[in-house]
């Protein structure tokens, strides 16, 4: 009886940590499905361990899921045939009015507004760099606890995180904190696209804007990387006919749209707006992944 009670207590404690563990795994892997698998594997390892011997359960769980994610990243790196492939991480979609924020797991995923642009940059980091940056900078895990996971000294781990931090800050600037200001820029973008107004499009784009589009294996022609305001504007003029079907949403906490022309989404677009101009556009246009999205949070739209 006491043993069953103890097992139940451990399960309850684990559920309290689940949102944070899922958030760690999502930032590490950029995949909601793989994040859920990593959380489940963490639970299985806890279930095989004598919880009474764990002094700090939260810290133990965080290091375990960090190790699981590190192994997944290393395995993924070995399998990848094309290092230049464009992969947009799984988006976290919520309503712009914030009514979908009651789910603690959703809130944990969106804390610190880790946008798709930052997750794309994190994908470019090596597994050890990514682990050091995510665990320390995002979840405040001490370097002394991270170092054994990557078999480095705490000082070397600190250097990895510092290097990753510089790359993230350089390639993924923090978006304007004012969501209304973000939405003004996105609305201006689609209005100009709808009207075919090339110069208006250029004016709302940062001169060094980057557009990334992931069409998956089914739509390889939509997997592109485009840089520069005039080049991106030329591409965007072809999206004018989709403007009436672009429903406003928050994509990973920043202004974006879900394009749904006939009850089935054809793209999810996330915009990073800095000082009133769009600096990055991330487009998920992979039909297979779009079909798996839960758009119920958007309601009737």
> Over pLDDT 90: what percentage of the chain?
69
4 has a pLDDT exceeding 50: no
Cα 245 to Cα 69: distance, rounded to the nearest angstrom? 37
State pLDDT tens for residues 229-286: 999 999 998 888 888 999 999 999 999 999 998 888 999 999 999 999 999 999 999 9
Report residue 196 as tokens. 């075919």
105 has a pLDDT exceeding 70: no
Tell me, what's the pLDDT at 3? 47
Mean pLDDT of the chain: 88
Which H or E run includes 209? strand 205-214
For the chain, the first-to-last Cα distance in angstroms comes to: 51
User: Taking the C-alpha atoms of 231, 234, 239 and 243 in order, what is their torsion angle to the nearest 10 degrees?
Assistant: 90
Cα 63 to Cα 286: distance, rounded to the nearest angstrom? 33
37 has a pLDDT exceeding 90: yes
Report residue 75 as tokens. 């395995």
52 has a pLDDT exceeding 90: no
Q: What is the mean pLDDT of residues 200-212?
A: 97
Report residue 229 as tokens. 């305001």
């Amino acid at each position: 009886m006491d043993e069953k009670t103890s097992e139940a207590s451990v399960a309850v404690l684990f559920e309290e940590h689940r949102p944070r563990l899922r958030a760690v795994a999502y930032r590490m892997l950029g995949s909601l499905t793989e994040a859920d698998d990593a959380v489940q594997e963490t639970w299985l390892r806890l279930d095989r361990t004598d919880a009474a011997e764990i002094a700090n359960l939260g810290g133990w769980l965080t290091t375990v899921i960090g190790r699981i994610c590190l192994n997944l990243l290393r395995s993924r790196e070995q399998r990848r045939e094309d290092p230049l492939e464009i992969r947009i991480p799984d988006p976290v979609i919520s309503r712009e009015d914030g009514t979908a924020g009651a789910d603690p797991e959703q809130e944990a995923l969106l804390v610190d507004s880790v946008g798709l642009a930052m997750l794309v940059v994190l994908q470019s980091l090596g597994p050890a760099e990514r682990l050091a940056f995510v665990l320390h900078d995002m979840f405040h895990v001490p370097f002394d606890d991270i170092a054994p996971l990557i078999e480095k000294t705490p000082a070397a781990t600190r250097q990895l995180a510092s290097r990753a931090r510089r790359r993230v800050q350089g390639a993924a600037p923090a978006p304007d904190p004012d969501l209304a200001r973000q939405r003004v820029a996105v609305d201006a973008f689609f209005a100009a696209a709808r009207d075919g107004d090339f110069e208006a499009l250029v004016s709302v784009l940062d001169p060094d804007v980057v557009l990334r589009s992931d069409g998956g294996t089914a739509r390889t022609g939509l997997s592109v990387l485009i840089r520069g305001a005039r080049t991106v504007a030329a591409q965007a003029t072809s999206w004018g006919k989709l403007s009436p079907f672009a429903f406003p949403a928050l994509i990973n906490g920043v202004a974006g749209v879900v394009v749904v022309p006939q009850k089935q989404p054809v793209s999810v677009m996330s915009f990073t707006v800095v000082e009133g101009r769009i600096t990055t556009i991330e487009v998920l246009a992979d039909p297979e992944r779009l079909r798996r999205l839960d758009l119920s949070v958007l309601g009737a739209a």
